[in-house]
Structure formats: structure tokens, C-alpha cells
Structure 1
Amino acid sequence: MTDLPEFYATTVYIDHIVTALNCLIPFGVKDEMLVTITNDGLSFARENNHVIKIQLVLSRELFQTFHYSPPEDASETRVSLRLDHVLDSLNITNDRSDVIECTLSYNGDGTPFILIFEDSMITESVEYSTYLLKDLDNTGLVLDRSQLQFECIIKGDVLYNALHDLKEIGCKDCYFYAIINETTGKPLFALISKSQQGVSKIVLPNERSILEKFEIYANDSSTIAYNQPMVTVFDYAMLDKIRASARIASKIMIRRDLHGLMTVNILNETKDILRSNDKESKRPKSVFGNGLPTHYPGIIIEISMLEKALPELLDVNEIKSMMLEFMGTDSAYSFLPAEHQQSKTAPYENDKHDDSDGYEAASQDLPLFF
């Protein structure tokens, strides 16, 4: 009897794997990705220039068969693969109309990583050379949860559309502006672009159904800071790398710590995940039943990125002044910090609780993923 390899897993959800791996393309399609195998599933990681990192997880529930026997005194196995090589093979088989079963196999250091594709007519095997391991450098890319400055949960399609619009206008530097009004408790979250076309802003909706959680802290992860704007800036070329991940997200959690590190956590419900080619699968629906496996949590992604630099005081003051002018309009009057508001009249006092858009601070009962 032939000994089983160290790892093998079988699945028919090839299009879903392609959708997931497409999120890594902005980080370098011809570069190596670090694949980590554990009893919980597979993770894929890329890092660019020590300023941005992505880690994507496919849990073992995606696979009909999942076997992993790690070496002694080890809980995981790591191997480096070329992303474009893997995607080329998956995309070719993904275009067929027949049901295809894909088996991933790896037998440890010095052996190839193997993909086996099998349908009713033919079996194909592809072997990939594995590379010397080079661990990712996580220096400065680990969130300091004890010194959070900003935290929010927003709908994925809203952030995706905002990032797409910024790309369309040729954004170079993107400023995040966030503030909570002490009187009303209403948040304001805006993405401000600086480009050759000048300065422009995208104000994100603050309805609770879109902006589920929004908190600014006094640098301690617990004390809420009101009427104190948070301004941070990112190189848009780097920020745009998260757009592919935002495209498949149901919800996105954004957190920033006192050291200028921002993490973006992608949570998706399996029914919301877009296929790799945005079209209905050509394969019989009976293969997938009602979709992905019932207990499969979806694609899990975390992106960590450093801000471009500490914003120049002149730029920060310009951003604050511009937003104060915007918040001074009738439609957004209640966002103004108290020291900038006009004296309130009696009618406004009587109505100030009635003009709420329904926003309330989110509860602490967050999804397990976060």
C-alpha cells in the first residue's frame, strides 16, 4: 500500500479558489506566495516592501477530503509557490463545463506541490517546483490592539465603490477623515483625494445599515474621543491593492493603531461571494447543491498596511478646514464640533432628537471573525 502524502485535499469548488486567489494578484502575480498548511485549512500570504501584507485563509470545510499529517514537533507546513503558475492551471480547468474534482497534494520539503484535475473523461496532473522558504517580514505590520485609535465596520460594496471612484479620478494620496459628534453621537467618515485634479472628497453614508460600527479612541482602545478628528494618509497605489478583496466582501472591519498601522479584515457571507468571472457557473448546479458547504465560513482575508507618513500639519489643517466647511451645510450641521456650532434656537432644541438618521453605536456583539 502506497504511503499517503503529508498533505492532500480534494474539492470541486475550483471557481471559488480562483476568486480567492485573485485577491492576491495586486500584490504581485508573478511573485512567490507563502502557502501554510495546518489542520484548519490553507493560508496564502504575500508582502510588499515591508509596508503592506495580505493573508488569505481557505478553511478545511471547503474540501470534501482533507488530510494533513505534519512532521513530528510541527503544527504547520510552509511552502512557496508562484501565484501565476497556480492560477494558470486553475483557470484552464475552470472554463470546462463538466464537473471537475481537484486534488492538492504535497509531501514535504524537496517534493513538488501537485494539482490533480479529474473529470468523467480525463485525469491531468500538474507539478509545481517549490522554492526555498523565506518567511515574511512582519516587523511593524502587527496591529497594537492595546492602542487603537480608530475602528469601524462598513459594508464591502460601499468601500469598494469609493476606492473605484478614487481610481477613476487619478488619486495619488488618500486621506482618511473620521470624527464623532459629541452631541448627536453621529459619525462622519470621508475619503479625501489629492491628485493632479486637485482635492476631492467622498463622504461615506453613516446609516447604521452601512456603517455598522464607528469608534474613535483616545489612543487606548476603549475611551471614545468625541469632536476630535482623526486624519491619516495612504499612498493610493498601495491602498488600491485592497480593492479586489473589498469586491467580494460583505463587511469590512478597518482598524488603525497609534503607530500608523491600518488593518483591513474582510468578512464575506458565502452567498455574497462573486465568481471569478462574474458569470454563472457552466457546471450543473446539482454539484454545488445550494452553493458552498453549509459550515464553510467563506474567504477570510486580513490586510495590514502602514500609512504613507505622518501627514504634514499644513495638509491636516487644510483637510480639517475643508471638512468644517462641508459640515457647516444644513444637511450635515449636526456633525460640527460644539465649538464651531452656532447658538441653537429653541425649535432646533426641540427637534434635535427627531432628525436622526437612525444611527446608533454598534453593540459589542461582533462576528466571531473579528
Structure 2
Amino acid sequence: LFLESSQDEHEPKKPITFTGSTNQVSHLADVFSSITTINTQALMVISLKGINIYAEYNHILNAHLTIDPSLFSTYNIYSEDDGPTPTSLSDLESQELRLGIDVSLIAESFSAAATTGSKGGNAASGSTNVSAANNNDNVVCYITYNGEGHPLIIEFEDRLMNEKIEFLTFYLDIRYPYDPNEIEDEEQYDLIVNPSEIHFEVILRSDVFTNLLQDLQQINTVDLYIFVSNKYRNLGEKPGQPSRNYNRVAFMDNQLNFISKGAIGHLKLLFPNHKVMLEKLDIFKKNQSDEMIQTQSSLITCYNFTNFIKIFKAVKLSSKCKIMKDLSGILSVQLLCKNPKLPNYAGTLITFNMLEISTVTDEFGTDDLTELSLNNIFDDDF
């Protein structure tokens, strides 16, 4: 009457353990802190490819932090039976550890350890500078996680102290849109950019972008409009007013402008279009075959600045920034954060995704009339 069950079917999965160590405490303190503006609770995913931390805010904004294993001196994922050197590496490549964490508490612990290490190093050298960003990273950090039901253990050690902290882990009921094994569901909406429907793509220097965001914040911006254009123009031609002299030299006029709307009205900030500052600006459209192709055009998109400014900490930390928007209205800001103390380190990647609040056609018209409508707001040439 009953079929004999296979022991393999009911054999419990071997618990997986993660251990890692690094002396790049100040860098981890900075990157952890940069995403706490999104949410204090986050999902941590540990795999052989690195550590990923994902946080979201009200399903309209999320952050994804990717830390490469090369930042660590030791980085091991293994089952209890295999030990630190797994016998079946292919099996572990498809496995991962997922845990809910309070990323703000972890960021605070790393910041405190970095500052303490800096004080210890400066005391020996006679310096009074206690900035975490300038310390000698004389603190070594050990991270251990023994799987579901166990705390995340982080231990800081230097020549003066040894501190062991156990952080509570929990189940976090959020969808992880970066899961490569997730089955696609047409009814499920993920707040990430569709790479096959990129509307525009911009690469720019983060230090200039940081100063621009500071200016936008100081003037109490409520709504932020981003205007991009790569139209060909003739020398001496005013934007939005086609020249009647067709014998002039034509050039591609790349423009990236940030327009603030607030209590004082509209204010326009122009991002420098020098190649060193604005490395890339591409605009795409669909052709008759529904394929995305490059085009010369202008477009504008709008965002709630209270949400947009949440990227500020990460922008200030990064060296290069890529901004992309797809046809569905999702904006992606990708930030590459280098570590000057590890020249060979590829960098930590922080990605923010957010929804635009409107198509702004009601205020600025269609794409063809966007530039002319903006010119009517400002007296100067756009």
C-alpha cells in the first residue's frame, strides 16, 4: 500500500556557515551608513559572489548594496560537514544565506570601531585627527553567521581592545528583485530598471553631482525635474529656436539640467557638459520593430526630492555615477565607491531605484515641445 520513501528526499539540508575577516572597517562603515536613509531594516544575502544588502521604502524607492569578496582577507561559505574548504564547490555556488538585519545598528558599530581604531593609531603617532575616513584601518573585523536561527556575530579586534557583538537576525518578508533564481511572474512588479527598455543613460562625476544636490537641498526643492538632451545644433543657434542658416557648423549639444520647483518657484542648475564631468549621455527610442535604438532628442522626468535626496550619502562617497531611466518610469542611480586603501579593489556598487512622480507632460507638454516649454519659464537660453 505504501511506497518506501527515499532517505534523500527527507534528508535535511546541511546548515551553511559564513565566516569572513577584513581590516577595511571604515569603508564598510561608510557604505552601510549610506543606505540607512532608505530603511533601517534590510535583507542581507551572503553567497560566494559577495554580500548583498537590499532595503526598500514604501515600494517606491529601494537600495541595493553589493560588496565584493575581494574586500575581505578571508571569505568562506561552507557546510558543517565540509569544513572551511568545501568538497563540492558547485553545490555551494547555488546556495546562499538570507537574513533580516538592522543595518543602522551594524553601521553604527562599524563607525564606532573605525573611530576607536583611528584614536588608537593617532595616539601612537601623536596625531589628533580622529576621522573614520582617514584612519589606518588597524582594526580587524571578523564576521560569522551560522545560519537560520543564529545571530550575526561581528567581532572587532585591535591591539587595545577586543569587542564581540551579536546582532539579532530575523525573517524579513520582502521580495528580492535581484534574485537570479526567481521565476518571472507577469503579475509581480519589481522596482528595478528594465535593461532592454532604457530611455536615457548618463555617466557623470560624483563630486560635481554632490555639490549640485547640496544646492538643491539648500533652496528647499520640493519637486526635481531632470532634463536631458543630445540634439544637434548649429553654432549660434538658440535651443528651442531652429536656425534659418543651414550653412553653420553643427555639433551635438549634450545637456543635463536639474530644475528645482519649490516655494520660490523654478530654479535651473546646469551640469557641466565637459567630457571629464559628463562622460556619457545617450537617449534611446523604440523603432518600428520595437527595438531600442539611439536617437537625438530631449526629454524630462520628475521626482519627489524628499525621496531623491536619500541618495546623497552614497553619492558623496562614490567616485562615478550612472543614471538610467527606462520606459516604465523607473530611475536607477548606480554609484561606484572605490577604496583608496585597496587600489586593486573593483569597488562597492550601490544602486538606488525610484519611481518618477509624473510624466510632466501636463506642465511641459510633449517631448517635441519640452524644450520650448522650459525656455518659456526662464529668461536665459536653456
Q: Where on the TM-score scale, by shorter chain, does this alignment land: which range?
A: 0.7 to 0.9
Separation (CA, whole Å) in 2 of partners of 1:68 and 1:315: 54
- Paired letter, 2:107: L
How well do the aligned residues superpose, as a CA RMSD in angstroms? 2.4
Deviations 1:209-268 (A, max 9, x none): 111110111146742322x32011000011111111111222111111111011111123
1:35 to 41, 44, 67: 44
Separation (CA, whole Å) in 1 of partners of 2:373 and 2:210: 24
306-315 vs 36-45, greater mean Cα deviation: 306-315
In structure 2, what is the equivalent of residue 82 of structure 1?
A: 102
In structure 1, what is the equivalent of residue 207 of structure 2?
A: 157
Deviations 1:15-44 (A, max 9, x none): 11001112112113xx31111101122111
Separation (CA, whole Å) in 1 of partners of 2:301 and 2:200: 10
In structure 1, what is the equivalent of residue 18 of structure 2?
A: 7
Separation (CA, whole Å) in 1 of partners of 2:156 and 2:320: 33
Task: Pick closer, same or farther for the CA change 1:316–1:175 going to 2, 3 Å.
Answer: farther
Task: Pick closer, same or farther for the CA change 1:219–1:175 going to 2, 3 Å.
Answer: farther
In structure 1, what is the equivalent of residue 293 of structure 2?
A: 223
Deviations 1:104-138 (A, max 9, x none): 00000001110111222432211111111323364
Alignment of 1:340-355 (within 5 A): none
Separation (CA, whole Å) in 2 of partners of 1:92 and 1:247: 20
**Is residue 200–residue 284 contact of structure 2 (8 Å, CA) maintained in 1?**
yes
In structure 2, what is the equivalent of residue 110 of structure 1?
A: 149
Task: Pick closer, same or farther for the CA change 1:264–1:128 going to 2, 3 Å.
Answer: same
Separation (CA, whole Å) in 1 of partners of 2:79 and 2:206: 36
- Give 1:295 shift: 3.0
In structure 2, what is the equivalent of residue 93 of structure 1?
A: 113
Separation (CA, whole Å) in 2 of partners of 1:166 and 1:301: 22
Matched, 1:124 2:175: no
1:198 to 265, 276, 287: 265
Matched, 1:302 2:302: no
Secondary structure of 1:89's counterpart equals helix
Number of corresponding residues: 305
TM-score in terms of structure 1 length: 0.76
- Give 1:140 shift: 3.6
**Is residue 333–residue 351 contact of structure 2 (8 Å, CA) maintained in 1?**
yes
Separation (CA, whole Å) in 1 of partners of 2:337 and 2:313: 13
TM-score in terms of structure 2 length: 0.74
Matched, 1:19 2:30: yes
**Is residue 78–residue 133 contact of structure 1 (8 Å, CA) maintained in 2?**
no
Task: Pick closer, same or farther for the CA change 1:327–1:315 going to 2, 3 Å.
Answer: closer
Task: Pick closer, same or farther for the CA change 1:136–1:160 going to 2, 3 Å.
Answer: farther
Separation (CA, whole Å) in 2 of partners of 1:191 and 1:295: 34
**Is residue 261–residue 307 contact of structure 1 (8 Å, CA) maintained in 2?**
yes
In structure 1, what is the equivalent of residue 56 of structure 2?
A: 47
In structure 2, what is the equivalent of residue 170 of structure 1?
A: 220
- Unpaired runs of 5+ residues, structure 2, are 1-14, 81-90, 122-137, 178-188, 233-249
Separation (CA, whole Å) in 2 of partners of 1:222 and 1:310: 20
**Is residue 148–residue 256 contact of structure 1 (8 Å, CA) maintained in 2?**
yes
Task: Pick closer, same or farther for the CA change 1:230–1:319 going to 2, 3 Å.
Answer: closer
1:255 to 319, 324, 338: 324
Deviations 1:333-363 (A, max 9, x none): xx8xxxxxxxxxxxxxxxxxxxxxxxxxxxx
**Is residue 231–residue 298 contact of structure 2 (8 Å, CA) maintained in 1?**
no
Secondary structure of 1:142's counterpart equals coil
33-42 vs 129-138, greater mean Cα deviation: 129-138
- Paired letter, 1:313: D
Secondary structure of 1:26's counterpart equals coil
Secondary structure of 1:240's counterpart equals helix
- Give 1:316 shift: 4.2
**Is residue 159–residue 246 contact of structure 1 (8 Å, CA) maintained in 2?**
yes
Bigger radius of gyration among the two = 2
**Is residue 47–residue 136 contact of structure 1 (8 Å, CA) maintained in 2?**
no
Secondary structure of 1:296's counterpart equals coil
Separation (CA, whole Å) in 2 of partners of 1:140 and 1:314: 28
- Give 1:326 shift: 8.8
Secondary structure of 1:309's counterpart equals coil
Alignment of 1:222-241 (within 5 A): 222-226=292-296, 228-241=297-310
Separation (CA, whole Å) in 1 of partners of 2:194 and 2:168: 37
Deviations 1:22-75 (A, max 9, x none): 2112113xx311111011221111111111111111111111111112696742
Task: Pick closer, same or farther for the CA change 1:114–1:5 going to 2, 3 Å.
Answer: farther
